[in-house]
Structure 1
């Protein structure tokens, strides 16, 4: 039987997760991943990679829970295996603190992480400007290790990788039977999605091995997460800002804010700075579409999986499984591709 030629566009954590799911699950598909940038030059590479996320406003909550659970279960299995060091996946404990009690004191993912509880009054005394907190154990996934690990897994499943720039999805229609769009911020130009916009994030890598637990301010701007080799210290969330160079004023402000939460950070050694543009969108787009091709009656099926904002690592495997389900639907509906004359 002729194999279905599938192309996945994008080499970040969404793209490689989706490509692995398809390549491992659908033997009748020949999967190629195409991108112009690969690790260590993707936005995912600099992500803090800690697993928890805010609600998206227009997506069914049960679907969001499934995305989170599927991703958590996937990464937990890696964290508890001998693959953990190579994949850069580890359990991480800490707390999230708030200056005002949030409207929802128990987030939708509370029962999916480990040991979720409220901070005691005694614990909160450490943070005099905050009145409420949550403690839990979650997972940290360091994409600088995880992406190469996923790429190896993809290649073992028979996947092929190609480095090239794609201007429009339609240009792939002549070569592939089905397109999976995991282009992140690139979707703004690739498919004309004006909802997608850059959200600039700047973080520092700091050597402070005595800090073993994460702390995150509930506003999402001030945080530090211990990793395998260093602490990720942040951050910024600058809507519409496309600057990719590190801003010294931002770095100074990040350190000042984080030292208020953890004074010993002042003794840490700054190893480097990193800036990335998150693919901001009101909601992730995980759905199917049919695109026409210019000058041809041929139409090509597309599965979209992009626009996760700061929740890419947290939801990558869950949305990849949803995208896989959509690919299965299309293959079942259309049958094997016809030989082109």
Structure 2
């Protein structure tokens, strides 16, 4: 950033400015669902307590259950990282701002401005913390004072399904002579939107390998 640009942030001595993309889940995920259904995919909603419940209805299972893999896959390495943010109306904010640690950020979007945030490993609490919300607003206002005029403030909490590394691998489950190929695909943490397309392509490749091993036609896996 230039010296003139840095004058807006007197508490900082260095900065970078660049153009990037912002992917908004509220619009992107429904688009992905429509894309799936448009190519012949079917979405079923049900509660699954054990991967074996899906056998023999499905020949191959792709496990994208995130934190649910602690139970479904017996994976104690996956853990939540709690994130709390504020969604506010501040239509005059047109540029994102993010501090050096990445913990404080201001992300304008199509429907609201997101103010963050927190990273709380091992915290399963889905209820907003009023004190944390005040701290987030204070930190963001320090970067962008005009946010004192923000209105329609809403609190949001989510749990990022984190892991020391993304689990992207095949596993063959065997029980009473039955075989169930599983492709595990979870543990992306806060980086899901950044890497999901590439890891999904790799998961599709692993599914094709499972299909070949079963001697069945590979499923359509074009994204």
Deviation at 1:154, TM superposition (A): 0.7
Q: 2:207 aligns with which of 311, 320, 327?
A: 327
Q: 1:242 aligns with which of 124, 127, 144?
A: 124
**Any idea what SS the aligned residue of 1:328 has?**
helix
Task: Find the counterpart in structure 2 of residue 272 from structure 1.
Answer: 154
Task: Find the counterpart in structure 2 of residue 215 from structure 1.
Answer: 97
Q: 1:191 aligns with which of 45, 53, 73?
A: 73
Deviation at 1:174, TM superposition (A): 2.3
- TM-score, with normalisation over the residues of structure 2? 0.92
CA distance in 1: counterparts of 2:105 and 2:62, whole angstroms? 33
Whichever structure has more strand as a proportion of its residues is: 1
Q: 1:206 aligns with which of 76, 88, 91?
A: 88
Count of paired positions? 217
CA-atom RMSD, angstroms? 1.4
Q: Does 1:307 align with 2:183?
A: no
**Cα contact 1:290–1:299 (8 A) shared by 2:** yes
Q: 1:255 aligns with which of 137, 142, 157?
A: 137
Deviation at 1:271, TM superposition (A): 3.3
- TM-score, with normalisation over the residues of structure 1? 0.61
CA distance in 2: counterparts of 1:311 and 1:289, whole angstroms? 24
Task: Find the counterpart in structure 2 of residue 88 from structure 1.
Answer: none
Q: Does 1:131 align with 2:13?
A: yes
Q: Does 1:291 align with 2:185?
A: no
Matched ranges for 1:16-165 at <5 A: 119-165=1-47
Further displaced range: 122-131 or 196-205? 122-131
CA distance in 1: counterparts of 2:100 and 2:210, whole angstroms? 41
CA distance in 2: counterparts of 1:128 and 1:334, whole angstroms? 63
CA distance in 1: counterparts of 2:134 and 2:68, whole angstroms? 30
CA distance in 1: counterparts of 2:99 and 2:72, whole angstroms? 35
- Deviating 4+ runs (over 4 angstroms): none
CA distance in 1: counterparts of 2:180 and 2:156, whole angstroms? 38
Instruction: Report Cα offsets for 1:135-182 as digits up to 9, x if no partner.
Output: 222211111121111111111111111111111212212221101011
**Any idea what SS the aligned residue of 1:140 has?**
coil
Task: Find the counterpart in structure 2 of residue 232 from structure 1.
Answer: 114
**Cα contact 1:170–1:292 (8 A) shared by 2:** no
**Any idea what SS the aligned residue of 1:154 has?**
helix
CA distance in 2: counterparts of 1:255 and 1:162, whole angstroms? 39
Deviation at 1:246, TM superposition (A): 1.0
Q: 2:61 aligns with which of 179, 186, 190?
A: 179
Instruction: Report Cα offsets for 1:69-110 as digits up to 9, x if no partner.
Output: xxxxxxxxxxxxxxxxxxxxxxxxxxxxxxxxxxxxxxxxxx
Greater RCO (CA < 8 Å, at least 6 residues apart): 1
**Cα contact 1:203–1:251 (8 A) shared by 2:** yes
CA distance in 2: counterparts of 1:256 and 1:276, whole angstroms? 21
Q: Show structure 1 runs of 5+ residues with no match.
A: 1-118
Task: Find the counterpart in structure 2 of residue 98 from structure 1.
Answer: none
CA distance in 1: counterparts of 2:136 and 2:120, whole angstroms? 13
Further displaced range: 132-141 or 200-209? 132-141
